Amino acid sequence: MADTQSAPSIAYTRAPFSTWLGIVCLFVLFGLIVLTVIGPSPRTSDYEETRAKKRMEKLKTLHEESQKELTTYAWVDKNKGVARIPIDRAMEVTVADLAQKKPAPAGPIATPAAQTAPAGASPAPAAPQQPGTAQPAQPSAPAGSPAGQGAASPSPATQQSPPAPASPAPATTP
């Protein structure tokens, strides 16, 4: 049998003093490097005050630019003839334009057809007309194109919705 005491003594040998001294010196060197990098940086109240002043100046210039855009006339795209007008004037023009239009009742929202007709199939049958109403003419799609693609849907004012069923009055409880 081999010498059994030699294996544990080899596993637990102490590191020489010079190794420990080298590790401590590395930590001290790292600490000195960190202090030289972080130490001279200005972290006083003056530093924070100057940063706050710069932020306030940037905010002020941004606010001035946005106010200038909202209150002056300018070309957005001169080639296309798109101009920017002051927002107050735009609101006046919009209100005047809406005042000239006659209010129309809101009609039902037209939903697109759920299914498309295969090529060569006959067009969908027309919806039954209610007596006394006129149906608008529907343009037909050219051959080879999907049905309804590119065709304008009739306006909600020309569409008639079926009358809503009367709902019973809610019951009152004492």
Least confident of 9-13, 35-39, 51-55: 9-13
What pLDDT is attached to residue 28?
Answer: 96
Residues 110-169: pLDDT tens digits? 888 777 666 655 555 555 555 545 554 444 444 444 444 444 445 544 555 555 545 555
CB-side neighbour CA atoms (13 Å) of 73: 2
Residues 43-97: pLDDT tens digits? 667 888 889 999 999 999 999 999 999 999 999 999 999 999 999 999 999 999 9
CA 167 to CA 17: how far, in whole Å?
A: 96
CA 19 to CA 65: how far, in whole Å?
A: 65
* Average of per-residue pLDDT across 32-50: 80
Nearest C-alpha neighbor of 60 from the set 71, 52, 49: 52
What pLDDT is attached to residue 104?
Answer: 83
Least confident of 12-21, 31-40, 136-145: 136-145
The more confident residue out of 26 and 4 is 26
Report in angstroms the alpha-carbon separations of 50 from 46, 57, 121: 6, 11, 75
What pLDDT is attached to residue 68?
Answer: 93
